[in-house]
Amino acid sequence: MSTFTLAECRAGLVVVCCAVALGTSPPVGITGARIDQFNDSHFHLTNYVQEGTDVRKYVDMMGTRVPRSTLFGVPLQQSWSYGNTGDFASAYDPQTDAPLYYYSFTDAATAMAYRSLTPEQQSRLDPMIVGFNPTDMYAADHIRRVLTTFPGVFSGIGEFTIHKESVWPKVAGGTASPNDPALDRILDFADEVGLVVLLQSDLDMPFPQHDQDPYQLAQLKELFKRHPMTSIIWAHAGVGRIVRPVENQLTILDRALSAPELKHVNIDISWDEVAKNIVDSPESVKATADLINRYPDRFIFGSDVVAPTDAGAQVKVFDMYAPLWEQLAPEVSQKVRMGNYERLFDESRRRVRAWEAANVKTARP
C-alpha cells in the first residue's frame, strides 16, 4: 500500500489520497466529477528553445486526473550567443543576456503534433496559436494563415505576452503595449473567429515606487473595454515572479469583475508563483476564496507548467492550491477546476469550426 505524508493529504484531500492508496476510486463531487480532477487552461508543451514533451506522452500523462487541456508552446526562442555563455546552451530566459525572438514555426509544430493523435486523444486537447509578435500589425494575418493552413485544430490564441517583467528588454523588435493598434487587430480577429484569447500582462512594473499607480492596469482595462465581445482569459491576474500582487489587488479584481463592461474577461489562477501568494496565510486564502465564491463563472485553473517530464508537475501545482479548494463551495470548485474551461472552450471550438467551414476553401483534386 502506498503511503502519503500529512502535507500531501492536507486541506480536505485526505479522502482522495486514502482512496488511491486503497486502490478505490476517489469520491465525486455534485456534478459527478472527481474532486481531484482538473482541466488545464495553461499548459506549455515546449520551452524557450522549442524542446519539450512528446504529445502522445502528454496525453498519457493526463490520465484520468486531467480530462482536458490546452496545448501550446512558447512564442519566444532563446538565442544561444556563444560570446555571452560560451558552451553553455541556456534553455531558460533568465540564464543568459542573449536576445529572444519570435518563433512562428511553433504553431506548425503544435498542429502537426495534434494531428498525429487519434480522434479520441484530440478531443481532450485545445491547441492555441502563439507564434506571432503582438507589436506587428501583420500578427492577425499570421493567425488567419495558421487557421486556414491547419483547419480543425486550433481553439484559441495564447498564451501571448503584452508585458512580462525582465523578458521584454530582451525581445528583438518593439515593446508590446495595451495601446498598440496591432493588439486591437488581433483581438478584433479573435472576436470574428470565436477564438479564446489567453494573454499575460503584468499588473505592475518590477520594484515600483510606493506612491506610483500601476499604469499597466489602466491600460489593460481600456484594452478589455475596446473588445467587449472577445472571450479573454487574463493569465494569473498580472502576477509575476518579480511583480508581486499590488496593494488592494483583490479589491481591484472585485471592482473589475463587477463591471458590466468587463464581463467577457476571465482570470486564470495558474502557476506555482501565484499559488504561493494565495496560500501565504489563512487570511489570503479566505480573501481569495471569498472573491472566487462571489464570481464562480470568472475563474479558471491552469498549471502553467513548461515541458514537463511526468504528470507530477501539473499535479504539484494543483495541490499547492489545496487550501483554496477547501474553502470554495463545492459547485464553485467544480466550475474553477473544470466547468468554466468546458464552457469557454466548447464555445470556441463551435465558433472556430463554423468560421473555418465558411472561410477555408477545400482543395480540389
Count of all residues that appear for the chain in the document:
365
Chain centre to alpha carbon of residue 259: 23
CA distance 132 to 160: 8
pLDDT computed for residue 162 by the predictor: 87
Per-residue pLDDT of the chain in tens (365 residues, 90 and over written 9) = 333 333 333 333 333 333 433 333 444 444 445 789 999 999 999 988 899 999 999 999 999 999 999 999 999 888 887 777 788 877 665 677 788 889 999 999 999 999 999 999 999 999 999 999 999 999 999 999 999 999 999 999 999 988 765 666 677 777 788 999 999 999 999 999 999 999 998 775 444 445 555 667 888 999 999 999 999 999 988 775 544 455 577 888 888 899 999 999 999 999 888 888 889 899 999 999 999 999 999 999 999 999 999 999 999 999 999 999 999 999 999 999 999 999 999 999 999 999 999 999 864 44
Q: Which residues contact 111 (CB under 8 A, 6 or more apart)?
A: 127, 146, 149, 150, 153, 154
- Chain centroid to Cα 300, Å, comes to 9
**CA–CA separation, 108 and 312 (whole Å):** 28
Q: In what order do the strands lie in the sheet with 156-163?
A: 69-71, 125-129, 156-163, 196-201, 232-235, 265-270, 299-302
Predicted pLDDT of residue 246: 53
Give the predicted TM-score (pTM) of the model: 0.85
| pLDDT at residue 33 in the model | 55
Q: Maximum Cα–Cα distance for the chain, whole Å?
A: 66
Q: How far is CA 221 from CA 148, 150, 296, in A?
A: 31, 33, 21
Omega of the bond leading into 273 within 30 degrees of 0 (cis): no
Retrieve residue 177's grid coordinates: 503595449
Q: What is the DSSP string of 285-338?
A: HHHHHHHHHHSTTSEEEE--EES-SSTHHHHHHHHHTHHHHHHS-HHHHHIIII
Q: What is the pLDDT of residue 49?
A: 87
Partners of 78 in the beta sheet?
100
- Domains of the chain (ranges plus CATH)? 1-29 (no CATH), 37-359 (3.20.20.140)
Rounded-to-integer distance, Cα 220 and Cα 162, Å: 10
Query: What pLDDT score does 17 carry?
Result: 37
